[in-house]
Amino acid sequence: MKVMVVGGGGREHAIIKKLKENKQITELYALPGNGGMANDATLVAIGAKELDKICDFAVENKIDFAVVAPDDPLVLGLVDRLNQVGIECFGPTKNAAIIEGSKKFSKDLMKKYGIPTAKYQSFTDLDKALSYLDEQQAPIVVKADGLALGKGVIIAQTIEEAKQAVVEMMQNGKFGDSGNTVVIEEFLEGPEVSVLAFTDGNIVVPMVSSMDHKRAKDGDQGLNTGGMGTIAPNPYYTQEIAKQCDKLIFKPTIEAMKKEGRTFKGCLYFGLMITKNGPKVIEYNCRFGDPETQVVLPLLKSDLLTIMQKTARGTLDYSDVEFSSDSACCVIMASNGYPESYQKGYVIEQNDNIDGEIYYAGAKLNQGKLLTDGGRVLGVTCTDKNLKSAIKKAYEQIDKVTFDKAYYRKDIGARALKALED
Ligand code: AMP
Ligand code: GLY
């Protein structure tokens, strides 16, 4: 069987490694993938947003199944395009991917169907947005409507700062068309939980919960990044909270999308905040999270290809998805300076006997050598019986991978461990 995975980061590497456990797969392609995955998949130099080329490649190479992992091609409608040329796909169609592609859409959906989320107003008119802010109190949150590489959310500590953010987005075009519409919403407080869920449009099967660490520096200081590490499961996601989420958030969201004529099939990511008034949705993503996938998939006991095929076909069953009761920790090794400026091109050395998985993100092959090629270079994931030992193991193993100017947070999972002790 020939399978292709669209995307090129650590998340895609984790998907590829998990898919490889299925021996029916004889050929596995990554478009474009990255040099660090070369032992696990055949790299094809086609970018994730080159829809025409991707479709041509799939047809010419008689691909049996495609996985579209990143947000951009999903929102652009790659799944629709591949389906049109007869390729079966894992991932939502364009009209369902809008749940991530437009924050106004997702907020309006939640309001219409009574799904708990922060109170909000959306604006297409700058003056109206500014005068609305005059009546609000800080802190307050300003969000660009469309995709903005994870940078379109501003937590403003003062109304003045919120106004500046609105002007940057609506007048100065900071995020291009993504900022033509803005959502201004209430600031919520509480621990955050990521829950990825498989859904075939009929049922929704949550995976093990996880916790991202978005800030660059220890103690959740510094700039926001694409994610500096993850742990799973997330101790704040108790059985009681899980029950509430299933009843008040997961099932209603799937039903709402169906009622809107936008049946969602694929992986739906629920970004949740556990507030003192219960769990609320911070954001939906129409895809696996990065680096959440790097801790969630290593704990999956079931066959990923089977789940993905059943998801695409609308025949998923709860019993298809089984997770280990172990814990996992992923520590991201980044180039020093990320998420601002950093140097690339350093040689990555890796000890052969690593007791864990390395998922490459920003790496490239050059004359047989693996070189750093991005801000987030790789992630080291370890699993173990409990969270404490998984974290300890991840930090022991990470020392077996080196490159010049490497930087990683030293406290991934520390807050989760403290929550377990409290
Ligand atoms: P997003 O890009 O939507 O994931 O938002 C980035 C981060 O901003 C989230 O992970 C939260 O930490 C924070 N955030 C987003 N919306 C809110 C809100 N309404 N209240 C507090 N924090 C928020
Ligand atoms: N880790 C956050 C995301 O994938 O959007």
Amino acid at site 184 = I
Span 296-323, mean pLDDT? 98
Domain chopping of the chain, boundaries: 2-93, 125-180, 192-320, 327-421
Would you say the CB of residue 193 lies under 6 angstroms from ligand 1?
no
Q: Over the chain, what is the mean pLDDT?
A: 96
Residue 34, pLDDT score = 98
**pTM for this prediction:** 0.96
Residue 130, pLDDT score = 96
Ligand 1 atom closest to residue 282's alpha carbon, by position in its atom list: 16
Higher pLDDT, 325 or 150: 325
List the residue whose alpha carbon is closest to atom 3 of ligand 2. 289
Interval 55-81: pLDDT, tens: 999 999 999 999 999 999 999 999 999
Would you say the CB of residue 285 lies under 6 angstroms from ligand 2?
yes
Would you say the CB of residue 138 lies under 6 angstroms from ligand 1?
no
Angle at 292 between CA 288 and CA 298, to 5 degrees: 95
Class of domain 192-320: alpha beta
Output the six-digit token pair for 104: 């106004």
Residue 179, pLDDT score = 84
Distance CA 232, CA 222 (A): 23
Would you say the CB of residue 227 lies under 6 angstroms from ligand 2?
yes
pLDDT interval class at 214 (50, 70, 90): very high
Question: Beta strand pairing status for 376-384 and 327-335?
Answer: antiparallel
Residue 151, pLDDT score = 79
Mutate to test the pocket of ligand 1, among 169, 228, 283 (most ligand atoms within 8 A of CB): 283
Interval 288-305: pLDDT, tens: 999 999 999 999 999 999
Class of domain 327-421: alpha beta
Residue 177, pLDDT score = 87
Would you say the CB of residue 181 lies under 6 angstroms from ligand 2?
no
Q: For residue 326, is pLDDT > 90?
A: yes
Select the CATH number that applies to the domain covering 2-93 from these four: 3.40.50.20, 3.40.50.1370, 3.30.300.160, 3.40.50.10800: 3.40.50.20
Ligand 1 atom closest to residue 214's alpha carbon, by position in its atom list: 10
Q: For residue 150, is pLDDT > 80?
A: no
Ligand 1 mean position, distance from CA 8 (Å) = 25
CB distance 337 to 395 below 8 Å: no
**φ/ψ of residue 51, rounded to 5:** -60, -45
Ligand 2 atom closest to residue 230's alpha carbon, by position in its atom list: 1
Would you say the CB of residue 290 lies under 6 angstroms from ligand 2?
yes
List the residue whose alpha carbon is closest to atom 8 of ligand 1. 153
Interval 343-375: pLDDT, tens: 999 999 998 889 999 999 999 999 999 999 999
Residue 178, pLDDT score = 86
Share of the chain above pLDDT 90, in %: 95
Residue 351, pLDDT score = 86
pLDDT interval class at 176 (50, 70, 90): confident
Residue 393, pLDDT score = 98
Interval 233-268: pLDDT, tens: 999 999 999 999 999 999 999 999 999 999 999 999
Task: Say how many Å lie between the first and final Cα of the chain, rounded.
Answer: 49
Would you say the CB of residue 192 lies under 6 angstroms from ligand 1?
yes
| Fold observed for domain 125-180 | Dna Ligase; domain 1 (3.30.1490)
CA proximity to 140, closest of 160, 117, 124 = 160
Ligand 2 atom closest to residue 292's alpha carbon, by position in its atom list: 1
Ligand 1 mean position, distance from CA 320 (Å) = 32
Residue 422, pLDDT score = 79
pLDDT interval class at 84 (50, 70, 90): very high
